[in-house]
Chains A and B, each alone.
Chain A
Amino acid sequence: MILILKGFIYSFCLFFLLFYGGACTPPKQSDIMPENRTGIKTEEILIGSSLALGGHAGYLGTQMLQGAMSYIHHINEKGGIHKRKLKLIALDDRYNPTQCLYNTQKLILENQVFALFCYVGTPTTVRIIPLVSEARIPLVGMFTGANRLRQPVNRYLINIRASYYKETQAAVDLIVKKRNLDKVAVFYQYDEYGFDGLRGTEIALKKYGLIPVAKGSYVRGTLDVEAGLEKIIQSEAQAVVMIGTYDSCAKFINLAKESNFSPLFHNVSFVGSKELARRLGKNGEGVIVTQVVPPPNFDRTKESLPGVKEYITLLNTYYPNSKPSFVGLEGYLNARILTEGLKRAGQDITREKFITAIESIHQYDLGIKNPLSFGINDYQGLDEVYYTMIKQGELVLIK
């Protein structure tokens, strides 16, 4: 009997072999790729960035780049990281996903950068996720709270700011819980960014058993907000959660005020609050913007946050013509994290070591009273959301 069993097992093995023969191809080259040191030179670390430096979102990109560059200049002047200076190659994509993709491919292949940094916008950044995953290149600090960059968790996408879900959640909390308003409309940009915000708002409203009373949208890069506005006015909404950019949102609010429609306007951080406030003028009174970083201005009444203080100091040093902004502060914070990661990764830095170093950043004090933590399978740094309200053209932090 044992003999038979043995025979049976042998034949089964043979059978397996025959059937599985040919399946045993050698593992793909990329799976056993050696530690990648692309972009690491003896005296330089190349960092690439594709962001909107011109066009309708040009303000965002420029501000962010200046914020980041002011800190990078500061570091480079202090001797760089492990005697290597950071060199940032920034390409303008004009907030166009196609161009962003092309730029990114160029940065990876032609410029051979070590990491990607400070991307601006949801549609642009979402478009390059496949490239990032395929090339296994770290992307640090995206100026977007899109959920697509956070779920599913991707080791190469290092998010610093809080997500749109967090922001819309906070907006809905404020509207429904604190102001006791239950007629909430959503105005959004008809693209990845807008959808993300819409979804976040809907999820948050669902928790209170509510649905948006109206949804209005506009196409990215246009100012065609009238149709959306009409829908929302008709719904007699008490509050409007706005997921868009400053130009369209400003037009929306101005047009609404002209039509004597003044619900609670609630914007998210991506809107570009400084520019929004400027464009709204006195129409901006009472407009709320959620922020993922604290307001970048000296509060004479209170002691300033050290991080904000350093940002303003450095910005004034390197870009004296620029005014501090939320986006700029975010850029500055992104640069802080990038350099911290590079520092921790050590002299023999590789992309994988860099990400491991990022993972090791825990309860890190950026000087904004909002400690930052990463971890294994946690590439979401900050979670706190700040509420600001436009008061006399200034953004004021509210509790």
Chain B
Amino acid sequence: MNIINKLTLKNKIFVSCLGFILLVSILIALFTRSLLITGLTSELKKRGIGIAQSIADSSRVYILTKNRAELTALAYDAKLGNRKDIVKYLIISDNQGNILAHTFTKGFPLNIKTIVKNQDYTKEHITSIDVDRDSVFHVVVPVEEGIYTVGSVQVGLEKQHIEKLISNLRLVFLSFLSMVSVIFFFLSHRLALHITKPVSSLIRYTDQLTKGNFNIMSNYDLDKENSEAGAKDDEIAKLTNSFIKMTSQLKQSTDKLKESQRKYRSLFQSGPNPIFVVNKKTFEILDANPNSTELFGYDREELIGMSLSTLGSLDDGKITPEYSESETMVISSKVKFYKKNGGSVFVNIHSSPSEYRNEDVIIVAATDITELVEKDSQLIQASKMTNLEKMSAGIAHEINQPLNAIKMGSEYLCMMDERKKKIEEVDRRMVLTQISSQVSRAAEIVGRLKTFSRKADFAREVINVNNCIRSVNKIIGRQITLQNIDLILDLNESIPSILAHNNRMEQVIFNLVTNARDAVNERIELLKDIEKGKITISSFFDHKTVCIDVSDNGAGIESDQMDSIFESFYTTKEMGEGLGLGLPIIQGIVRDYNGNISVKSTPGSGTHFRIMFPAHWTGKDDVV
């Protein structure tokens, strides 16, 4: 069966036709053979009996007279002419089974005498025996005189005669069958060709199509017109037609695909942002557009094969998230990448899954936002300075207090020294200790201001938000208290760390607290509400999220303003009091650290800001 399966369609048809013809021929041959043998055998027996009977009639008188010479002549007469082929021998015997005459000329076969003797010669019958290694039909015909048998004629009929006849017939038959077979050989060959020729030309054209040669279709149509004019309505023609339709469809879609490819290629080549084709598993760069080489200073050849992580640190967990099909998502913003010359750029990483040369890849677009980041930090700085400016009075007061204490202490010491009074050892120590601690306090405030006003970068470090809250409290806590507002810290000491930057987190909390203060003051001033102002800063964590809540009982935000509060340059304050950049900057910073900010407010009774950051679990924190 395997051999059959391996054959081409043409040969399958060819072989089946031939096989069928051969099978039929063989069956006919076998059938005819058996028919012939039966027919010829019975014919031979009939003739044998006929011969024997005619000899029996003629021999009666000679048997009675025992004229052996005449009997012998009679016996040989039976073998004359064409009967020579049928009659192997003829024996005339008397009624005792003694042989009177026979036709053996080359000696008696060994068993013949016994055979003759043992025959029942009173009735006609035929037995099959072997004489001289030849198979013969032994015909016995009695010779009767009146009602008694006087002798018998026994004829040996050559079975070989039948075989000779059959072999002659066989030759004729065989030549006929051979002729038929040869004719069928060519017929089936033609048939197979007729069926498979259009198929094979179809195959040829398909091969060419596979190679992308679409121009052959016109040739094919011509060919078809010329050579297959006769076979237009058969299945092959239908197949050809649908093939042509399919091909034109294919050609159209291929053209579309090519067009789209060209479009995307030009997008890829001329896009303003660096785009990488990255292996999904190894982050190996498979392709990069010219812009990326321009931005990062690497040659294209250098980039290809390089790992994307060489360019900048990527959060592995984020770059291979569970994508839904054809979804583009930002997986990282403000990531710091390094150029070939060591310079750094900030990029936003967009990625989408795709396929490239049969591999699962990620298309990574790295938008250069270095300038934006620069502007951002300038803006943040400006906003910080504004805050500082507003609070300079409070801060001055804050510094003045220790200065006053120092002044008082030092003046006391000077006065005592002028009066040459002996200072009590206890007093002197107290004064000196106070001066020293007041200097420390002032220095701390100055240090914090210095830290706060410093222009921060985007580095991420593991921080505890509680520290930031305390730090802010140190800077402006007293000042707020002075404005008769309660600043309550409700900190959960066991919160996990987050990935952020102290300075910037401080700025966020600072801004929120100052906003809360302003809101409280606004309520008191505008609404003449005498309820004491209260600002609560609380920190807690929930699952994997670290939350900081800043709530106040200030004026609140009108619901129609709620949508606009995070827009840049939107402010409710009077001209000159704020730039309207506070909340947008907070939101920017929070988002930079993958955080979220939300707000709830009831006008007249207070506002509640909540900032949430993903917890950063270190080994140590896991224990908590």
Residues of chain A whose beta carbon lies under 8 Å from any beta carbon of chain B: 1, 3-4, 7-8, 11-12, 15-16, 18-20, 22-23, 25, 28-30, 96-99, 101-103, 105, 108-109, 127, 130-131, 134-135
| Residues of chain B in range 21-72 having any CB-CB distance to chain A below 8 Å | 22, 25-26, 29-30, 33, 68-70, 72
* B69 in contact with A99 (CB, 8 Å): yes
Q: B133 at the A/B interface (Cβ < 8 Å)?
A: yes
Interface centre among B73, B76, B105, B132 (most CB of A within 10 A): B105
Contacts of B106 in A (CB 8 A): 30, 108, 134-135
Given contacts A23-B170, A102-B73, A130-B76, contact A4 B14 (CB under 8 A): yes
Q: B11 at the A/B interface (Cβ < 8 Å)?
A: yes
* A101 in contact with B18 (CB, 8 Å): no
Interface centre among A101, A109, A127 (most CB of B within 10 A): A101
Contacts of B132 in A (CB 8 A): 29
* A102 in contact with B69 (CB, 8 Å): yes
Q: B107 at the A/B interface (Cβ < 8 Å)?
A: yes
| Residues of chain B in range 165-214 having any CB-CB distance to chain A below 8 Å | 166-167, 170, 173-174, 177-178, 181, 185
Number of A-B contacts (CB under 8 A): 83
Q: Tell which of B72, B79, B170, B173 touches A105, judged by Cβ atoms closer than 8 Å.
A: B72
Contact string, B214-234, partner A, CB cutoff 8 A, digits 1/0?
A: 000000000000000000000
Given contacts A11-B19, A98-B70, A98-B73, contact A19 B33 (CB under 8 A): yes
Interface centre among B29, B72, B178 (most CB of A within 10 A): B72
Contacts of B573 in A (CB 8 A): none
The DSSP consensus for interface residues of chain A is helix
* A101 in contact with B76 (CB, 8 Å): yes
* A20 in contact with B170 (CB, 8 Å): yes
Complex Cα spacing A280 to B193, Å: 93
Can you give 24 A-B contacts (C-beta < 8 A)?
A8-B185, A12-B22, A12-B178, A15-B22, A15-B29, A18-B30, A19-B29, A19-B170, A20-B167, A23-B163, A23-B166, A25-B160, A28-B134, A29-B134, A97-B73, A99-B69, A102-B68, A105-B72, A105-B105, A108-B106, A109-B108, A127-B76, A130-B80, A134-B105
* A98 in contact with B72 (CB, 8 Å): yes
* B167 in contact with A23 (CB, 8 Å): yes
* B29 in contact with A18 (CB, 8 Å): yes
Contacts of A7 in B (CB 8 A): 15, 18
* B18 in contact with A108 (CB, 8 Å): no
The DSSP consensus for interface residues of chain B is helix
Task: Across the interface, name the chain B residue whose C-beta is closest to A131.
Answer: B105
Q: B245 at the A/B interface (Cβ < 8 Å)?
A: no
Contact string, B142-182, partner A, CB cutoff 8 A, digits 1/0?
A: 00000000000000000010010011001001100110010
Complex Cα spacing A4 to B19, Å: 11
List of 5 A-B pairs having minimum Cβ-Cβ separation, nearest first: A102-B69, A98-B73, A135-B105, A102-B72, A134-B105
Q: Tell which of B19, B73, B79, B163 touches A22, judged by Cβ atoms closer than 8 Å.
A: B163
Contacts of A105 in B (CB 8 A): 72, 104-105
Q: Tell which of B70, B84, B166, B181 touches A12, judged by Cβ atoms closer than 8 Å.
A: B181
* B79 in contact with A130 (CB, 8 Å): yes
Distance to closest chain A CB from B11 (angstroms): 6
* A98 in contact with B26 (CB, 8 Å): no
Given contacts A22-B163, A102-B72, contact A15 B26 (CB under 8 A): yes
Contacts of B19 in A (CB 8 A): 11
Contacts of B80 in A (CB 8 A): 130
Contacts of A11 in B (CB 8 A): 18-19, 22
* A109 in contact with B105 (CB, 8 Å): yes
Contacts of A3 in B (CB 8 A): 11
Given contacts A15-B29, A101-B76, A135-B106, contact A8 B18 (CB under 8 A): yes
Residues of chain B whose beta carbon lies under 8 Å from any beta carbon of chain A: 11, 14-15, 18-19, 22, 25-26, 29-30, 33, 68-70, 72-73, 76, 79-80, 84, 101, 104-108, 132-134, 160, 163, 166-167, 170, 173-174, 177-178, 181, 185
Task: Across the interface, name the chain B residue whose C-beta is closest to A133.
Answer: B105
Given contacts A7-B15, A20-B170, contact A101 B69 (CB under 8 A): yes
**Given A23-B166, A29-B132, 9 new contacts (CB under 8 A):** A12-B22, A12-B181, A15-B26, A18-B29, A18-B30, A22-B163, A101-B69, A102-B68, A102-B73
* B133 in contact with A29 (CB, 8 Å): yes
Interface centre among B29, B33, B76, B181 (most CB of A within 10 A): B76
Task: Across the interface, name the chain A residue whose C-beta is closest to B69.
Answer: A102
Distance to closest chain A CB from B9 (angstroms): 13
Contacts of B29 in A (CB 8 A): 15, 18-19
Given contacts A29-B132, A97-B73, contact A19 B105 (CB under 8 A): no
Interface centre among B22, B30, B132 (most CB of A within 10 A): B22
Given contacts A7-B15, A98-B70, contact A19 B163 (CB under 8 A): no
Task: Across the interface, name the chain A residue whose C-beta is closest to B192.
Answer: A4
* A25 in contact with B163 (CB, 8 Å): yes
Q: Tell which of A15, A96, A130, A134 touches B25, judged by Cβ atoms closer than 8 Å.
A: A15
Task: Across the interface, name the chain A residue whose C-beta is closest to B158.
Answer: A28
Distance to closest chain B CB from A152 (angstroms): 15
Distance to closest chain B CB from A128 (angstroms): 9
Complex Cα spacing A22 to B69, Å: 40
Interface centre among A12, A19, A103 (most CB of B within 10 A): A19
Contacts of B174 in A (CB 8 A): 16, 19
* A101 in contact with B104 (CB, 8 Å): no
Distance to closest chain A CB from B563 (angstroms): 84
Contacts of A108 in B (CB 8 A): 105-106
Given contacts A19-B170, A130-B79, A130-B84, contact A98 B22 (CB under 8 A): no
Distance to closest chain A CB from B305 (angstroms): 51
Contacts of A15 in B (CB 8 A): 22, 25-26, 29, 177
Task: Across the interface, name the chain A residue whose C-beta is closest to B11.
Answer: A4
Complex Cα spacing A25 to B166, Å: 13
Contacts of B177 in A (CB 8 A): 15
Task: Across the interface, name the chain B residue whose C-beta is closest to A96.
Answer: B69
Contacts of A103 in B (CB 8 A): 69
Distance to closest chain A CB from B507 (angstroms): 88
Complex Cα spacing A20 to B167, Å: 8
Complex Cα spacing A96 to B69, Å: 10
* B22 in contact with A101 (CB, 8 Å): no
Contacts of B107 in A (CB 8 A): 109
Contacts of A29 in B (CB 8 A): 132-134
Complex Cα spacing A105 to B75, Å: 12
Complex Cα spacing A134 to B84, Å: 11
Contacts of A12 in B (CB 8 A): 22, 178, 181
Distance to closest chain A CB from B430 (angstroms): 119
Distance to closest chain B CB from A254 (angstroms): 34
Contacts of B30 in A (CB 8 A): 18
Complex Cα spacing A105 to B132, Å: 19
* B14 in contact with A131 (CB, 8 Å): no
Contacts of B11 in A (CB 8 A): 1, 3-4
Contacts of B25 in A (CB 8 A): 15
Complex Cα spacing A13 to B461, Å: 93
Task: Across the interface, name the chain A residue whose C-beta is closest to B68.
Answer: A102
Contacts of B160 in A (CB 8 A): 25, 28
Q: Tell which of A18, A101, A102 touches B26, judged by Cβ atoms closer than 8 Å.
A: A18
Q: Tell which of B15, B108, B166 touches A4, judged by Cβ atoms closer than 8 Å.
A: B15
